Amino acid sequence: MASNPGMTPDQIALIKATVPVLVQHGNTITTVFYRNMLAAHPELNTVFNTSDQVNGRQPRALAGALYAYASHIDDLGALSSAVELICNKHASLYIKADDYNIVGKYLLEAMGEVLGAALTPEIHDAWGAAYWQLANIMIGREKQLYEHAEGWTDWRDFKIVNKVKESEEITSFYLAPVDEKPLPAFKPGQYISIQTEVPTLKYPQARQYSLSDEPKPDYYRISVKRELGLNSAAASAATNPGYISNVLHDTRNIGDTIKVSHPYGDFFLSPADSETGNPIVLISAGVGVTPLTSMLNTLVSKSLESRKLHFIHGARSEGLRAFKKHISELSKQHPSIQTTFFTSHPSEGEKEGVDYDHAGRVDLSKLKDQDLFLDDAKTDYYICGPGMFMTDIESALKAKGVGADRIKMELFGTGGVPH
Ligand SMILES: Cc1cc2nc3c(=O)[nH]c(=O)nc-3n(C[C@H](O)[C@H](O)[C@H](O)COP(=O)(O)OP(=O)(O)OC[C@H]3O[C@@H](n4cnc5c(N)ncnc54)[C@H](O)[C@@H]3O)c2cc1C
Ligand code: HEM
CA distance linking residue 70 with residue 67, whole number of Å: 5
Ligand 2 center–CA 316 separation, angstroms: 33
Strands 156-165 and 203-210: unpaired
Q: Is the dihedral of CA 110, 113, 116, 122 positive or negative?
A: positive
Q: Which residues contact 219 (CB under 8 A, 6 or more apart)?
A: 161, 174, 175, 176, 183
Q: Ligand 1 atom 14: the closest Cα is on which residue?
A: 412
Total residue length of the chain: 419
Nearest residue to 401 (alpha-carbon basis) of 419, 382, 375: 375
What atom in ligand 1 is closest to the CA of residue 265? Answer: 1
DSSP state of 60: H
Please, which residues have CB within 8 angstroms of residue 310's CB and are 6 or more apart in sequence?
Answer: 279, 280, 281, 282, 337, 338, 339, 340, 371, 372, 373
The answer to whether 352 and 378 have CB atoms below 8 angstroms apart is no
The average pLDDT across 224-241 equals: 71
Question: Which has more pLDDT, 7 or 2?
Answer: 7
CA distance 324 to 203: 36
- pLDDT tens across 112-154, in order? 999 999 999 999 999 999 999 999 999 999 999 999 999 999 9
Task: Give the per-residue pLDDT at 304.
Answer: 66
Average pLDDT for 393-404:
98
**Residues contacting residue 58 through CB under 8 Å, at least 6 positions apart:** 34, 48, 49, 52, 414
Give the separation between CA 116 and CA 122, rounded to whole angstroms. 13
Measure the CA–CA gap between 300 and 292, rounded to whole angstroms: 12
User: Confidence class of residue 233 from pLDDT cuts 50, 70 and 90?
Assistant: low
Distance CA 82, CA 419 (A): 14
**What pLDDT is stored for residue 235 in this prediction?**
52
Instruction: Choose between 413 and 419: higher pLDDT.
Output: 413
Q: Which residues of 177-202 are buried (b: 16+ CB within 10 A; e: fewer)?
A: beeeeebeebbbbbbbbbbbbeeeee
Higher per-residue confidence, 236 vs 327: 327
- Can you tell me which atom of ligand 2 is nearest the CA of 138? 1
Write down the pLDDT at residue 240.
82
What local confidence, expressed as pLDDT, does residue 28 receive? 97
Distance of CA 277 to the CA centre of its chain: 26
CB 194 within 8 A of CB 93: no
Residues with CB under 6 A from ligand 1: 49, 51, 54-55, 191, 207-210, 222-225, 227, 229, 232, 234, 236-237, 240-246, 265, 287, 290, 410, 412-413
Residues with CB under 6 A from ligand 2: 44, 47-49, 52, 58, 61-62, 65, 85-86, 89-90, 93, 95, 99-100, 103, 134-135, 138, 414-416
Mean pLDDT throughout 252-259?
A: 98
For 236-246, what is each residue's pLDDT tens digit?
Answer: 555 689 999 99
Please state the atom number of ligand 1 nearest to the C-alpha of residue 232.
49
DSSP 8-state code for residue 306: T
- Residue 256 CA to residue 178 CA, distance in Å, equals 11
Percent of the chain exceeding pLDDT 90 equals 90
CA gap 186, 68 in Å, rounded: 30
Average pLDDT over residues 373-377: 96
Distance 227 CA to ligand 1 centre (A): 7
Say if CB 212 and CB 295 are below 8 A apart: no
Q: Which ligand is nearest to the CA of 263?
A: 1
Annotated catalytic sites, by residue? 100, 142
Angular region, 286: left φ>0, alpha ψ -120 to 50, beta rest? left
Distance 91 CA to ligand 2 centre (A): 10
Q: Name every residue whose Cβ is closer than 8 Å to that of residue 372 and which is 6 or more positions away in sequence.
A: 281, 310, 364, 379, 397, 400
What pLDDT score was predicted for residue 2? 41
What is the model's pLDDT at position 231?
54
pLDDT at 3: 42
Question: Cβ atoms within 10 A of the Cβ of 279, count?
Answer: 19
Q: Given a cut of 80, is residue 408 above it in pLDDT?
A: yes
Q: For a substitution probing ligand 1, which of 230, 412, 414 has the most ligand atoms within 8 Å of its CB? A: 412
Specify the higher pLDDT residue, 419 or 110.
Answer: 110
Average pLDDT, the chain: 94
Average pLDDT estimate for 205-211: 98
What φ, ψ does residue 100 adopt, rounded to 5°? -65, -25
**Given ligand 1 and candidates 168, 175, 209, which is best to mutate, with the most ligand atoms within 8 Å of its CB?**
209
What is the percentage of the chain residues whose pLDDT exceeds 70?
Answer: 96
Query: Is residue 350 within 8 Å of 317, Cβ to Cβ?
Result: yes
Q: Band of the pLDDT at 273, cuts 50, 70, 90?
A: confident
Find the 71 Cα to ligand 1 centroid distance in Å: 30
Q: What is the pLDDT of residue 417?
A: 85
Atom 40 (ligand 2): residue with closest C-alpha? 49
Residue 298, CA distances (Å) to 69, 215, 317 in order: 36, 7, 27
Give me the phi and psi of 163, to 5 degrees please.
-140, 115
Q: Name the nearest CA neighbour of 245 among 271, 225, 219, 275.
A: 225
Query: What's the gap in Å between 62 CA and the centre of ligand 2?
Result: 7
| Cβ–Cβ under 8 Å, residues 307 and 372 | no
Task: Name which of 14-28, 98-112, 223-237 the model is least confident about.
Answer: 223-237
Domains in the chain (CATH in brackets) are: 9-147 (1.10.490.10), 156-260 (2.40.30.10), 271-410 (3.40.50.80)
Q: Which tens digits make up the pLDDT trace of 29-85?
A: 999 999 999 999 999 999 999 999 998 999 999 999 999 999 999 999 999 999 999
